[in-house]
Chains A and B, each alone.
Chain A
């Protein structure tokens, strides 16, 4: 023990020990920061149902075209009117979408408001605009489009 007290060398080693420990403390602070960083911003992107709403919208647009074509096809072999067939098909589409979205905990509603034609008749080239109400709700995000105007010409 006596020899240890007298040995006053290695001051540099002691000092460098201090410096290193300070650096490590700094690094610990940085590491802690990095853990928090970017949580909320990434989470917001993941939680916000942007793609679901967009897909509901764009798919309804696509389907309106398909429904229009299909209703003219059905009309050629039956004696129902075009608006009647269109409405039925659209209701059918709406029910299926509702069920498929409900599986993911989302309430949607797609309902037909009106079928518009330029000159009042419902020929294949006359129907131009379709008005549809779209609502979406997943408990946090509420979306209403009344009406969504779909061009089907």
Chain B
């Protein structure tokens, strides 16, 4: 019977136990699982999404097909349903500005003294680390008429609409 290298066997066992313990110790002692990464990613995400809305809001008409005010004014007031109905103009514009991201867009505005929030673009349920950025536009009957939108405003009425975008990485 070959009974050499007994110590090697034991040593192997001990090494295995040691390594397992170390790995356990490391994983246990890193209590919070990489929050810094998700936070840093969130910062980036927030920057990108608020920039996208900002670009769309501020861009001269010659640069983009429809800017944010026109997109909002041109909305036909039908709420989005997944996946068929959404605000095509706004979606087209955002799609190019936010490559690789998914987003939902809501419009919030005051109607007869009450807050109304309506879904305009739905791309699914937001993921774990999603960020919200918002931008405001002011509509008048003139802008609505120009874009053939579904808003019914008086000639002397202003409507402030909050464009609320929830963006997340897939």
Contacts and interface: CB of A to CB of B under 8 A. Distances in A.
A21 B21 CA distance: 11
Name the residue among B3, B18, B156 with the largest chain A CB count within 10 angstroms. Answer: B156
Interface string A87-112: 00100110111011001100000000
Given A21-B18, A31-B30, A55 B134 contact: yes
B15 to A, nearest CB: 6
Interface in B11-29: 11, 15, 18-19, 22, 25-26, 29
A64 to B, nearest CB: 10
- If over half of B's interface residues share one DSSP class (helix, strand or loop), that class is named, otherwise mixed; here it is mixed
Contact of B40 (A42, A97, A99, A104): A42
Interface stretch (A32-40, A119-127, A130-138): A32-40
A17 B18 CA distance: 9
B133 interface: yes
Interface in A75-94: 85, 89, 92-93
B158 A35 contact: no
A149 interface: no
Contact of A27 (B26, B31, B109): B26
Contacts of B159: 96
Contacts of A118: none
Given A59-B136, A93-B138, A96-B160, A46 B39 contact: yes
Interface stretch (B42-50, B94-102, B120-128): B42-50
A71 B68 CA distance: 23
A73 B11 CA distance: 91
Given A66-B158, A97-B160, A43 B136 contact: no
Interface residues of B, number: 46
Nearest to B135: A55
Nearest to A92: B158
Interface in B116-170: 133-138, 140, 142, 155-160, 162
Contacts of B42: 42, 46
Nearest to A67: B158
B7 interface: yes
Query: What are the nearest 7 A-B pairs in CB distance?
Result: A42-B39, A96-B160, A38-B36, A28-B26, A59-B136, A63-B138, A45-B43
